[in-house]
A and B are shown apart, each in its own frame.
Chain A
Amino acid sequence: MHKHGTTYDMLCQVAVKNHQHGAKNPKAQFPMEITMDTVRNAVRVAEPLGLFDCSPVTDGAAAILLAPVEVAKALGKPMVTIKGSGHAVDSIALHDRPDPSRIPAVGMAARKAFEDAGVTVRDIDFCEVHDCFTIAELCCLEEIGFYEAGQAGAATMAGETALGGKIPVNTSGGLKSKGHPVGATGIGQLVEVYEQLAGRSGDRQVAGARLGLAQNMGGSGGSSVVHILEVK
């Protein structure tokens, strides 16, 4: 905010947008729509973040089935392949990283995944990113390369990251609305990407989704993993 002029309204809009998505997800923990005032008027936690900037603590589970292509074909179910993966680490202490507004491990993991998949960020139809806090969604979108540094907030205000926008982000509702069952969150993101690619996402379906991205992180971005999935 200090460096790029990101406003608190931009952070609020991340939460509002993710709750709009989550309201269409029968498996979301908090599937209710909220307003900008819900976020603005919530109790402060660590400024500028308030309660509705923070993802909840969630009990939950998620599972995916990995199989050789021949076996998967024989199942007769919609088949999705892992087209690329990337993982990167960084120092855990935020003060050991040069710029507090960046999460470099996310960008490194994404670049590895794009290289592995042989695609670019412009090929991605939708994504799930680790919105543990509203600001984290903006930082992750910028690190992955969807937006230049400092630009994701304005794009969110313009609706580019909502369903029907240029790049729908966190169609599941994200950690914010779907919930954050920490150990299950990463697989939960892949479940959403699978459902979208299989065309089974109902009211929150991204039309024509062929290539989806999932980004997960831990340790305040001390470690991040990016997967790119493609429907066959």
Chain B
Amino acid sequence: MISPRYHREIPQRYRLEAGQCDGCQEIHFPPRVVCRKCGGEEFTTINLPSHGKVVTHTTCWIPPAEFDNQKPYVNAIVELDNGTRLTCMVCEAPPDEVEVGTKVEIVFRKLAEDPKWEVIKYGYKARVIP
């Protein structure tokens, strides 16, 4: 990922900032410029809750080059306590401990070092709550 895009996405990647539509209250993560539900263009920035559960998951054995040193790792769709869903890596647990319904907490972590652009990427991962 190129640096300008990474910089632009810091609010959502570091602080889980989402956009809530002023018209219909639909929550968009990542934030969008037009509401997918009502077409509204006015949004209020909100912070998403950090706790949720795994909706579905996979263990990745052949990842893109920048994630190669982390394999095998789990990718999951997580549903947060307010119903918002996001996709992220699951950290600090072996793959066989992640199941549908596993309770997780979204945490700030180093994601990867991009060998081409030399950008160290930070963002969110899901940590299994013991």
Contact = CB atoms under 8 A, between A and B. Distances in A.
Interface residues of B, number: 16
Interface string B54-67: 01101111100000
17 contacts: A45-B61, A46-B58, A46-B59, A46-B61, A46-B62, A47-B58, A47-B59, A47-B95, A91-B36, A94-B77, A94-B87, A95-B55, A95-B77, A95-B78, A95-B85, A100-B55, A100-B56
A27 interface: no
B45 to A, nearest CB: 19
Interface size class of A (residues with CB under 8 A): 10 to 19
B97 to A, nearest CB: 14
Nearest to A45: B62
Contacts of B77: 94-95, 100
A2 B75 CA distance: 16
**Chain B at the A interface: SS class:** strand
Interface of A: 2, 43-49, 91, 93-96, 100
Interface of B: 36, 55-56, 58-62, 75, 77-78, 85-87, 95, 100
A170 B62 CA distance: 27
B16 to A, nearest CB: 14
A93 B60 contact: no
B54 to A, nearest CB: 11
A75 B95 CA distance: 60
Contact of A96 (B62, B85, B95): B85
A150 B36 CA distance: 29
A47 B57 CA distance: 9
Given A95-B77, A96-B36, 4 more contacts: A46-B75, A47-B59, A48-B58, A91-B36
